[in-house]
Amino acid sequence: MLYHVRMDVLIPTDMDADKVNELKATEKALSQKLQEQGKWRHIWRIAGQYSNFSIFDVESNEELHDIMMSLPLYPYMKVEVTPLLRHPSSVRSDDS
């Protein structure tokens, strides 16, 4: 199942800088692992914001939920999830 996910990261301005850097490094490592596994299909930065649009390819709502909850920055995120399915007018039969 494909999902379009918008993540807006809202780290408190008074959070310890070392803690923020640790969270970011752990988040990056996990996101890259999920990308290599094919579960986090795409990630795009939204210009001028600490936000991204991502495409996840997972088996279920529950798997996406578990992935999102495992992200170190999740407690500091506003997340919007949109399930996706192929449009009948698409000229492609795959996700290319």
pLDDT for res 92: 85
Q: What is the pTM of this model?
A: 0.91
pLDDT score at 44: 98
Residue 38 lies inside a defined structural domain of this protein: yes
By the 8 A CB rule, do 6 and 51 touch? yes
Give the CATH number, domain containing residue 51. 3.30.70.1060
The answer to the question of residue 92 being in a domain is no
User: How far apart, in whole angstroms, are the C-alpha atoms of residue 46 and residue 17?
Assistant: 23
SS3 state of residue 37: coil
How many domains, in total, are found in the chain?
A: 1
Indicate whether 35 belongs to any domain: yes
User: What are the pLDDT digits (tens) for 35-53?
Assistant: 999 999 999 999 999 999 9
* Sequential pLDDT tens for the chain (96 residues): 999 999 999 999 999 999 999 999 999 999 999 999 999 999 999 999 999 999 999 999 999 999 999 999 999 999 999 999 988 898 988 776
Range of the domain at 29: 2-84
